[in-house]
Amino acid sequence: MTRFVLRRLALTLLLVVASSVVVFVVGRLAPGDPVQLLMGDLRDPVVEGRIRRELGLDRPVWEQYLRFARRAVRGNFGQSYANPGRPVAGMIGQALPVTAALATAAVGLALLLGLPLGLLAAVGRGTLPDVVTRFVALGGMSIPSFVVAVVLIQWLALGWHVAPVSGWGEPRHYLLPVAALTLQPLAYVTRVTRAGILRVLPEDYVRTARSKGLSPGRVLVRHVLPNALISIITVAGLAFSYTLTGAFVVETIFRIPGLGQAAVGALFLRDYPMIQAVGLLYAAIFLGTGLLADVGYAVVDPRVRYRR
């Protein structure tokens, strides 16, 4: 078990480093020069040269990367180009909790609704709940979050004044963004729960449990759910990281000062330190949840540990 976790951990770290290199190099190769963007209309080669030297942009790319990596290991991501004097780490420290809270609420709600829905659909296969669930699931995967946002704003905010259109800081500001974000994870959780339970139901041990006289509810809770949980764990992890990184659409619409907005802004301003830090963070989130899901598998299902 320890060996399995260690191997996966090493691989994940390697991949995180690799993706940080990719983000770094792609960023430098792309057209667009942060120094020019910083200087605006000013055309002064002396000033330009000085800024370039101060930022270390006159060094070769590999040297710049090593400098970035040395500092990043100690948690220092430098200062933002676009907001001089503000450390990138602090900016992320402000934005990440906002996005994390959004994603947690959205995925939590999706699990809360999706698990019972999937269960209901699987048990009553072919009945009305199943049909409804199929529509919910396909709808969640087919309707973009910004369309949901448009509809919610139109009806709930502008029509009925149930919730504010935008703003941030109060609990009621969560209402619309979370509703818009939750539909997609809800669709996935519902589908996977249904599929997972249907896969377990024909197993021998379920029949044994039934034949020894356990009540249907008990069979479901004790024997079916735990075994269906594996696929649900993975999908919940994936849904969380997707929601976390996909939140920028909803953040843009509702003007929420989250990580997505910070990242999109940084991309356009060629704010290298911010891009690198956010890129590294996104990669860590993605690969980290992948790792957690894998370890989660191994904990839940002993069979996984011995494979490979």
DSSP state of 81: S
| 83 near another protein, rule: CB under 8 A | no
Dist. CA 307–CA 1, nearest whole Å? 11
Site string for another protein, 180-199 (x = CB under 8 A): --------x--xx--x--xx
CA 237 distance to own-chain centroid: 9
CB 78 within 8 A of CB 226: no
CB 283 within 8 A of CB 16: yes
Per rule CB under 8 A, count of chain residues that contact another protein: 43
| Cβ at position 26, least distance to another protein in Å | 6
| 286 near another protein, rule: CB under 8 A | yes
Q: Smaller CB distance to another protein: residue 145 or 182?
A: 145
| CB hemisphere CA count around 9 (13 angstroms) | 7
Phi, psi of 270 (to 5 degrees): 55, 45
Only one of the segments 56-64, 151-159, 170-178, 297-305 lies at the binding site for another protein (rule: CB under 8 A); that segment is 151-159
| 144 near another protein, rule: CB under 8 A | yes
| 36 near another protein, rule: CB under 8 A | no
Dist. CA 46–CA 109, nearest whole Å? 56
| 15 near another protein, rule: CB under 8 A | yes
Structure tokens at 177: 């963004």
Q: Smaller CB distance to another protein: residue 195 or 206?
A: 195
| 116 near another protein, rule: CB under 8 A | no
Structure tokens at 298: 């191994």
Instruction: Taking each helix axis as running N to C, give the angle between helix 88-123 and helix 259-269, from 0 to 180 degrees, rounded to the nearest 10.
Output: 130
Only one of the segments 17-25, 66-74, 75-83, 173-181 lies at the binding site for another protein (rule: CB under 8 A); that segment is 17-25
Only one of the segments 15-23, 54-62, 67-75, 83-91 lies at the binding site for another protein (rule: CB under 8 A); that segment is 15-23
**Residue 148 Cα distances to 141, 156, 180, angstroms:** 12, 11, 5
| 295 near another protein, rule: CB under 8 A | no
**Residue ranges binding another protein (CB under 8 A):** 15, 18-19, 23, 26-27, 30-32, 138-139, 141-147, 150-151, 153-154, 158, 188, 191-192, 195, 198-199, 231, 242, 245-246, 248-249, 252, 264, 267-268, 282, 286-287, 290
